Structure 1
Amino acid sequence: MAKNGPTIAEIGEFPLIRSLVRDLPSDPAVSLGPGDDGAVFLVDGSAVISTDVLVEGVHFRRSWSGAQDIGRKSVAVNVADIEAMGAAPVAMVIGFSAPADLPVSWAREFMTGLREEAARARVAIVGGDTTAGPVVTVSVTVIGQTAGIAPVRRDGAAPADIVAIKGRLGWAAAGLVVLGRGFRSPRVVVEAQRCPEVAYGAGRQAALAGAHAMIDVSDGLVADLGHIAEASGVAIDIDQARLDIPDPLRTVGMATGLDPITWVLGGGEDHALAATFAVGEVPDDWQVIGRVLDSTEQTEPTVLVDGRPWEHAGGWTHF
C-alpha cells in the first residue's frame, strides 16, 4: 500500500468509477446518468456542445494546485465556453487519464472539485471514461441549451457597438507569475490561477440583453477580441482607461517590476466574457471597455488599444 493510501491501479478501474460517481446529484433533464453505455437527457431548443482538454504540465501542475482545484478548474473552463454562446449548461461528461500509481485519494479529491464546481455552474455530471496515461489528463465535454433564443456567435459585432466585459482580467496571469517565482502570495491571484472565477449565468444574461457577439476570454483580451474582429470583419478599440487594475495586480507588478496592464490585456485563464452590444443595451453590471469602430475609422479587422496596435503579447497560443 502506498504512503497516501491505495493507488488507482490497486483499487481497479470499475471500483474507482463506482466510488467517484456514487450519489451524484440528479437533474430533471437527465433520465439516465452514469452506469450505462451512454447518458440520456433532454435539451430545450438547440444544443450547444464544447470540449476542453487539460494536460498536466501544460494547463496545471500538481505541485501548484490541489486535486480539488484541478477538478473545479476542469468544469469552469469548459462551462465558460457554453456561457459565451449565450446558452445554459445542462450535462457534462469527463474523460480522465492518469498514471497507475496515482493515489485513489487524489482522484477522490479531484471528483470533489468537479462536484462543487458543477453545482455552482448548475450542470449535471452524466458520465465519462477513465484510462491509464503518463500524466493526469482531463477532457471535459459540456452540452448546453439555448432555450428559445439564438446562440450568440463571434461574427455578429457591428460598427458602433459597445464592447463590454463581465468577470476578472489579469488575475490568473499574475498568479502564474507569482507561482513561477516560487511564491504563494498574494493568495487571491494564486487562487485565480488554480481555478478561475466564472460569472455563471452572465452569458445567458448577455444573450437576453441582445448581445451581437460574445467570446470567452481564455487566451487574453486582445487575442480573443481579435477573434470577434476577424469573424465579424470589424475593428475594435479598447479604452485602456476603462480597464481596472485591482490592488493585488498592482502589488505583484511592484514586486516583479512588470506592468500589470500586460496581464489585463494579454493574460488568459480568467475566463471572463467579452461581448458587443448595441448602444443602450449593455447590462448594468457589465463593464464597458471600448467600442467597435465604423468603416470610416478603420477598415481592416483588428484590435487597437487607445487607437494604436498593442505592441506586447496579445495572448496565449498552444503551438
Structure 2
Amino acid sequence: MSIAEAGEFGLIARVVARLENGPTTLLGPGDDSAIVAAPDGRIVASTDVLVEGRHFRRDWSSGADVGHRAAAANLADIAAMGAVPTALLVGLCAPADLELSWAEELAGGLSDEAALTGASVVGGDTSASPTLTIAVTALGDLGGRPPVLRSGAQPGDVIAIAGRIGHAAAGYTVLSRGFRTPKALVEAYRRPVVPYEAGPAAARAGATAMIDVSDGLLQDLGHIARASVVGVDVHTNTFEISGQMRDAAAALGVDPLQWILGGGDDHALVATFPAEAVLPQDWTVIGKVHESTGVTVDGRPWGGPVGWDHFR
C-alpha cells in the first residue's frame, strides 16, 4: 500500500502507532501541540534536514536505517551541548507513491533511536513532495548545568573524542563503489552509534568546548577553533585504525586517515578540556589547543579533505 492509498490521516495513524512516550513527554501526538517537561527551565533545540539523494538512498538503507540516522543527527547535537535529549518533532515530505511500510519503518527507527536517550517522538507534520525529505527538530534539557559552547576552548587545553570515527565514511565509500562488505563499515554508515551519555559527562567534567562530528573531524574542529579564536592540532598517532578499515582502504586505494580526519556521519563527540581535567570514561585525547588559529595535523597543514560542505 502506498501513502496515497492510506491517505494523510491513515499515514499519521500508522506512524503514531509505532511511537512510545518517554518520561519527559507529558502529552504526545494527537493534539495541536505536544507538551514536554523542561525541568531545567531552559530548552536546548536543534534541527537537521535529510533529503533523499543527498543524505540517503533507499537502495542503500531501509526506512528504519534512515530513521535511526535522522534521529541520531539531531540527538547528537543536543548531547554536544552537554544536554540530555527529551523529544523529537518530525516533518515528513514524501512522494504519494512511497510505500506505507517504508514510512512505518522510518517511524520505528526514529522512535527506537530516541528511546536510547530517554527521548520520544512527540509530533510533527506530513506533506506531499516530489522529493522525500525528513526534517527533525530535537529538544533537550541541561539539568542545571551551563551549556558547553564551541567558543570556550583555551590554549593549553587537550582535545578529546568519544565514539568511533571514520567508520561511516568508510562505509559510504564502500557503498559508493558498489560493494556491501565489510558489513561492519556499511552498518556504521547506515546506523550511527552515538555516545549520547558522553556529552553530559563531559560537561560535568569541565569541558570547555564541544561539538558533534557530523561533517568531518577537521571541519568541525575548525568551528571550535574559529569560535574560540585558537589553534588546534590533531595527533594522528592517537587513532586506532581497525583491521577492517585498513583492509577496505587498501582494497579501495584510500588513505584511511582521510576517512578519520575528513569523514562525517559517525556523530562522535569531540571536546576540549583543561589539561588537568580528569576525562570521563570513553574519552580519548587526540590533540591539543594552542595560541594560533586554524587546524593542523601533526603540526602541519592537512592537504586532504577536511569534511562536507553542502554548497561546495
For Structure 1 versus Structure 2, the TM-score category normalised by the shorter chain is: over 0.9
The answer to whether 1:260 aligns with 2:256 is yes
Q: Write out per-residue CA displacement over residues 43-86 of structure 1, whole angstroms, 9 at most, x where no aligned residue.
A: 12221000000000000000110111011111111100001000
Which runs of 5 or more structure 1 residues have no equivalent in the other structure? 1-5
CA–CA distance in structure 1, aligned partners of residues 18 and 301 of structure 2: 53
CA–CA distance in structure 2, aligned partners of residues 179 and 27 of structure 1: 35
Given the two structures, how large is their TM-score scaled by the length of structure 1? 0.95
Q: Write out per-residue CA displacement over residues 133-192 of structure 1, whole angstroms, 9 at most, x where no aligned residue.
A: 112110000110111000100000001001000011111111111101110000011111
1:205-244 to 2 correspondences below 5 Å:
205-244=201-240
Residue of 162, 174, 183 corresponding to 2:158: 162
The answer to whether 1:13 aligns with 2:5 is no
Structure-1 residue corresponding to 2:302: 310
1:280-299 to 2 correspondences below 5 Å:
280-281=276-277, 282-293=279-290, 295=291, 299=292
Helix, strand or coil at the partner of 2:303: coil
Helix, strand or coil at the partner of 2:153: coil
Structure-1 residue corresponding to 2:92: 96
Paired residue type of 1:314? V
1:59-98 to 2 correspondences below 5 Å:
59-98=55-94
Which runs of 5 or more structure 2 residues have no equivalent in the other structure? none
CA–CA distance in structure 1, aligned partners of residues 23 and 241 of structure 2: 42
CA RMSD of aligned residues (A): 1.0
1:318 deviation in Å?
Answer: 0.4
CA–CA distance in structure 2, aligned partners of residues 70 and 121 of structure 1: 18
Q: Is the 8 A contact 2:160 2:270 kept in 1?
A: yes
Structure-1 residue corresponding to 2:200: 204
Tell me: CA distance 1:112–1:27, structure 2 relative to 1, closer, same or farther (3 Å). closer
Structure 1 stretch displaced more, 37-46 or 60-69: 37-46
CA–CA distance in structure 1, aligned partners of residues 39 and 211 of structure 2: 22
Q: Is the 8 A contact 2:160 2:283 kept in 1?
A: yes
Moved over 6 A (4+): none
1:272-287 to 2 correspondences below 5 Å:
272-281=268-277, 282-287=279-284
1:97-246 to 2 correspondences below 5 Å:
97-246=93-242
CA–CA distance in structure 1, aligned partners of residues 18 and 282 of structure 2: 37
Structure 1 stretch displaced more, 202-211 or 17-26: 17-26
**Aligned residues with identical type, % of pairs:** 53
Q: Is the 8 A contact 2:232 2:287 kept in 1?
A: yes
CA–CA distance in structure 1, aligned partners of residues 25 and 238 of structure 2: 43
Residue of 27, 32, 39 corresponding to 2:27: 32
CA–CA distance in structure 1, aligned partners of residues 23 and 111 of structure 2: 17
Paired residue type of 2:197? G
CA–CA distance in structure 1, aligned partners of residues 97 and 228 of structure 2: 49
Paired residue type of 2:39? D
Given the two structures, how large is their TM-score scaled by the length of structure 2? 0.97
1:204 deviation in Å?
Answer: 0.5
CA–CA distance in structure 2, aligned partners of residues 69 and 287 of structure 1: 28
Helix, strand or coil at the partner of 2:266: coil
Q: Write out per-residue CA displacement over residues 98-134 of structure 1, whole angstroms, 9 at most, x where no aligned residue.
A: 1000111111111111121111122111100011111
Instruction: Tell me how many residue pairs correspond in the alignment.
Output: 309
Structure 1 stretch displaced more, 32-41 or 15-24: 15-24
Helix, strand or coil at the partner of 1:308: coil
1:23 deviation in Å?
Answer: 6.2
Q: Is the 8 A contact 2:198 2:282 kept in 1?
A: no
Paired residue type of 2:307? G
CA–CA distance in structure 2, aligned partners of residues 28 and 182 of structure 1: 43
Helix, strand or coil at the partner of 2:116: helix
Q: Write out per-residue CA displacement over residues 214-265 of structure 1, whole angstroms, 9 at most, x where no aligned residue.
A: 0000111111000000000000111111112111210111101111011100
